[in-house]
Amino acid sequence: MNDAAPNAAPQTFYLKDYKPFGYEVESVKLTFQLSPNATKVHSAIRFSPKADAEDNRFFLHGEQLSLISAKIDGTPVTARLVDGGLECDVPRTSFLWEAEVEIDPAANTALEGLYMSKGMYCTQCEAEGFRKITYYPDRPDVMSTFTVRIEGDEPVMLSNGNPTGAGEGWAEWHDPWPKPAYLFALVAGDLVNHPGSFTTKSGKDVELNIWVRPGDEGKCAFGMEALKKSIKWDEDVYGLEYDLDLFNIVAVDDFNMGAMENKGLNIFNSSCVLASPETSTDANFERIEAIIAHEYFHNWTGNRITCRDWFQLCLKEGLTVFRDAQFTADMRSEPVKRIEDVIALRARQFPEDGGPLAHPPRPEEFQEINNFYTATVYEKGAEVIGMLKRLVGDDNYYKALKLYFERHDGQACTIEDWLKVFEDATGRDLSQFKLWYSQAGTPRVKVSEDYADGTYTLTFEQSTPPTPGQPEKAPRVIPMAVGLLSPNGDEVRATEVLDLTEAKQSFTFEGLASKPVPSILREFSAPVILERETTNSERAFLLAHDTDPFNRWEAGNALAKEVRVAMVLDGAAPDAAYLDALEKLVRDDEQDPAFRALVLSPPSQSDIAQTLHERGHTPDPQKIYDAAETFTQTLAQQLETSLPRLYAATTVEGPYVPDADGAGKRALNGRILSLLTRLDGGEQAARQYASADNMTQQYAALAALMKAEKGEAQSKAFFEQWQDDRLVMDKWFALQIACAAPEATAATAKELTQHPLFSMKNPNRFRAVMGALAGNHAGFHHASGAGYQLLAENLIALDSVNPQTTARMCAAFQTWKRYDSERQAQIQAELERILATSGLSRDTHEMVSRMLSA
């Protein structure tokens, strides 16, 4: 039942090879007879040959299926089983294909196809999981209506669309909207629902449900409110209405991803929907709100209009990430959301784009599509849409989107279709802009300036380093948002978007009384790396005066990086002027607490490593760690006298509400507590731990204590209190590794893999431990190599259980070329060890060989 061992020559798929399927699928009827180890799936599919088909090979995908019988128009036929599916001789007119297969959901630990999680049946079909359920043309450009009958003795049995009948031991569903198979879903088990309802703008009543395992009912209210807000927002902002009478969400514990947008039946990793003040942090609440919105928004951007093939993945994911970011900005704070997204982009996408796994937002080849649900497809895909919106302007953006929905509703589309809509709506030629979809790599933009006789000139030079398979890059369209400040801090030119189109280009500003201070790349208007000679005092000036909140934060962030880089490279002491600027900002109660918390959050150590690497230095993880420690200790001492007052002033009293305001205050309060804990021996944190009535404050206190190595008692107490709550336990596992000193990180992680609650079968738990290991920069990259070794061992062990999660976590090694030759040799040895594993999955094989070959 295992995938064939693909160590030899795995197949590569190319965008240029696209050919439509030779048959129309008119309808699909599926009958499931559920049984944990022997579920029978009967399919009845009406096919009709396309008159104009270039290729009429009748090939149906199928993997890990036992074929029991196949019929055409009621007559048994012999299908030829071939690699990855079957072929059959079929009539040249419309016919009914019927097949019966048997599958083993209980043995399915890969969590793709039909599987079981804690006794509950559950599916995950995107991208190519439907072929593990039955034989089918499992490609997104084949769309059909589905009728589903589920037979079994589960109390609740759900599928897509609307319920059409149910009785003792069976339930039937019909989804009237044609959809690709990847949006199919089935859930069956002992579930309870948290109900809700929504009346759409045209007056249709929609029944909403969040289905959970008994015991989790109390954690659904926040998700339900988020769902209603999402439905309303999509009506208000995009004019898009929901299109079924029912919208179901199901929470499942064992899930490879965050959540999945199956039509009318979204399936969520329980970590991305279940929330309560006692068990979830502010960050969890924000993420849950965003992901519920994201999956809901897919109903139009993904489901009603889907992708022609998987190379077009960013058509739905980039756009939907862009939409969910707009939603979060509207629900919470626009600048805070922007800053958070840029931090994440730099942490995840920039390293990807600058390393061996670099690929364009629309890749042109893959071996395993699951490996391309990447930061580039998602986050850079969303950035590209943000740039498009900036270039054409808001009105044109919404005009183009309206045209997109009118023109392509019900279709499976390409990036070309998407850009054509913008061209038609605006009359603009987007052929150069399209390079953003085909070129990999993060452009560098070098800025120089000149001032004479009242005229200020900014000159931009763009270039993009080579990436695998793309040695040369053409200049792209880069929307560069720029404002100018006078030396006294007034804004003398409001934000203007300069469209860079050439390798080198200058822009002039006339009539300036004195040389201005430029504020460049406001709102982070393009995903590029800006290179500009500037001074720390100019950065401090922008931190104090810029009218663009993003660039105010950016100035502080750049300053923080410079200070740390200087500490690492020259052993410099923390810059006193910077410490003063920080102190001033932290004490300035006029400033948004969330913003102050962000400015107070140090750049990540991995970010410093990346910056050093970009500047041609070899990062030393231990030195970066030491600099971070010294800096934070010095900052704590500098703020010593004001910390108790700041702590008190930012403490949020009263019942916990997970709103943006409260979250911002708690974030600042948490930063202050962590500084305070370095000075008071943990007294305040211990008090906060003891009195906290919500997870945000309990966790912040525990983290501060553990970081200071003063949290042993609280960590024990935390375990005792929460050992039966799997989501909180994930935090407990991760935190111990995140807080470990570099030399103790691997050992701590290793010990936790021996813990009775550790499991290879639950992706959340595996990620809690191995993700925390990879995320502890100095610990993972400790010179002993123990971190690399531990991760490799665990990835090898996980691969035969769950290839998809293994392959994703391999990316922890993608930055390996940044480091010194000893570390590179250690990582290379681990990567080679993984690659030599017999029976290695296609997923992991592809990731590791890409990392090794670049």
Instruction: Report, in Å, the least distance between residue 753 CB and ligand BES.
Output: 24
126 binds, among Zn ion, ligand BES, none (CB under 5 to 8 A by kind): ligand BES
Give the 3-state secondary structure of residue 97. Answer: strand
Rounded CA-CA distance 379/363 in Å is 14
Site residues for ligand BES, 356-395, by CB under 6 A, read: 370, 373, 378
99 binds, among Zn ion, ligand BES, none (CB under 5 to 8 A by kind): none
Instruction: Report, in Å, the least distance between residue 372 CB and ligand BES.
Output: 9
Instruction: Report, in Å, the least distance between residue 304 CB and Zn ion.
Output: 14
User: Which residues, including other chains, have CB under 8 Å from residue 666's CB and lie 6 or more apart?
Assistant: 282, 650, 652, 696, 697, 700
Interaction pattern, residues 202-241, with ligand BES; x per rule: CB under 6 A = ----------------------------------------
384 and 437 in contact (C-beta within 8 Å)? yes
Instruction: Report, in Å, the least distance between residue 379 CB and ligand BES.
Output: 9
Size of the chain, expressed as the number of residues it contains: 854
User: Which residues, including other chains, have CB under 8 Å from residue 747's CB and lie 6 or more apart?
Assistant: 740, 786
Instruction: Report, in Å, the least distance between residue 317 CB and Zn ion.
Output: 5
The residue nearest ligand BES at its CB is 258
C-alpha closest to that of 408 among 146, 141, 230: 141
Region near ligand BES per CB under 6 A, out of 187-195, 286-294, 526-534, 554-562: 286-294
Interaction pattern, residues 278-317, with Zn ion; x per rule: CB under 5 A = ---------------------------------------x
CB nearer ligand BES, residue 269 or residue 748: 269
Beta-bridge partner residues of 156: 189
Instruction: Report, in Å, the least distance between residue 294 CB and Zn ion.
Output: 6
Region near ligand BES per CB under 6 A, out of 89-97, 255-263, 397-405, 639-647: 255-263
699 binds, among ligand BES, Zn ion, none (CB under 5 to 8 A by kind): none
Rounded CA-CA distance 12/373 in Å is 17
Region near ligand BES per CB under 6 A, out of 258-266, 692-700, 731-739, 840-848: 258-266
Helix ranges (H only) for 197-304 are 221-238, 282-297
809: Cα separation from own chain's centroid: 13
Instruction: Report, in Å, the least distance between residue 593 CB and ligand BES.
Output: 25
Site residues for ligand BES, 112-141, by CB under 6 A, read: 126-127
- Please list the helix, strand and coil fractions of the chain in percent, rounded to the nearest 5, in that order: 45, 20, 35
Q: Is 258 near ligand BES (CB under 6 A)?
A: yes
CA triplet 300, 306, 311: central angle to 5 degrees?
135
CB nearer ligand BES, residue 525 or residue 804: 804
Q: Is 253 near ligand BES (CB under 6 A)?
A: no
Looking only at the bridges linking them, the beta strands covering 186-189 and 156-159 are: antiparallel
Residue that the structure tokens 């407990």 belong to: 732
Query: How buried is 407 (Cβ within 10 angstroms: 0-12 exposed, 13-18 middle, 19+ buried)?
Result: middle
Tell me the Ramachandran region of residue 815: left when phi exceeds 0, alpha when psi lies from -120 to 50, beta otherwise. Answer: alpha
Beta-bridge partner residues of 259: 268
Site residues for Zn ion, 312-351, by CB under 5 A, read: 317, 320
Which residue type, as a one-letter code, is found at position 688?
Answer: Q
373 binds, among Zn ion, ligand BES, none (CB under 5 to 8 A by kind): ligand BES
260 binds, among ligand BES, Zn ion, none (CB under 5 to 8 A by kind): ligand BES
Which residue type, as a one-letter code, is found at position 307?
Answer: C
C-alpha closest to that of 557 among 572, 542, 574: 542
Q: Give the total of residues touching ligand BES (CB under 6 A).
A: 17
Site residues for ligand BES, 401-460, by CB under 6 A, read: none
Q: Is 315 near ligand BES (CB under 6 A)?
A: no
Out of 260, 421, 597, 663, point to the residue binding ligand BES (CB under 6 A).
Answer: 260
Region near ligand BES per CB under 6 A, out of 287-295, 549-557, 639-647, 789-797: 287-295
Region near ligand BES per CB under 6 A, out of 290-298, 403-411, 506-514, 662-670: 290-298
CB nearer ligand BES, residue 127 or residue 735: 127
What are the E-state strand segments in 568-651? none
Asked whether the bond before 127 is cis by omega within 30 degrees of 0, the reply is yes
Instruction: Report, in Å, the least distance between residue 320 CB and Zn ion.
Output: 5
User: Which residues, including other chains, have CB under 8 Å from residue 351's CB and lie 6 or more apart?
Assistant: 606, 610, 814, 815
Q: Is 183 near ligand BES (CB under 6 A)?
A: no
Region near ligand BES per CB under 6 A, out of 252-260, 571-579, 598-606, 664-672: 252-260
- Using CA atoms, how far residue 223 sits from 8, 188, 201, 251, 483, in Å, is 46, 21, 21, 11, 40
Tokens of 388: 């498009």
Rounded CA-CA distance 787/754 in Å is 16
Which residue type, as a one-letter code, is found at position 606?
Answer: S
Query: 295 an active-site residue?
Result: yes
- 289, 295, 379, 554: which one is catalytic? 295
Taking each continuous run of H as one helix and of E as one strand, the counts in the chain are 29, 31
Out of 298, 476, 552, 613, point to the residue binding ligand BES (CB under 6 A).
Answer: 298
Query: How buried is 563 (Cβ within 10 angstroms: 0-12 exposed, 13-18 middle, 19+ buried)?
Result: buried
CB nearer ligand BES, residue 172 or residue 324: 324
Q: Is 321 near ligand BES (CB under 6 A)?
A: yes
Q: Is 317 near ligand BES (CB under 6 A)?
A: yes
For ligand BES, the binding residues (CB under 6 A) are 126-127, 257-261, 290-291, 294-295, 298, 317, 321, 370, 373, 378
Q: Annotated active-site positions, please?
A: 295
For Zn ion, the binding residues (CB under 5 A) are 317, 320
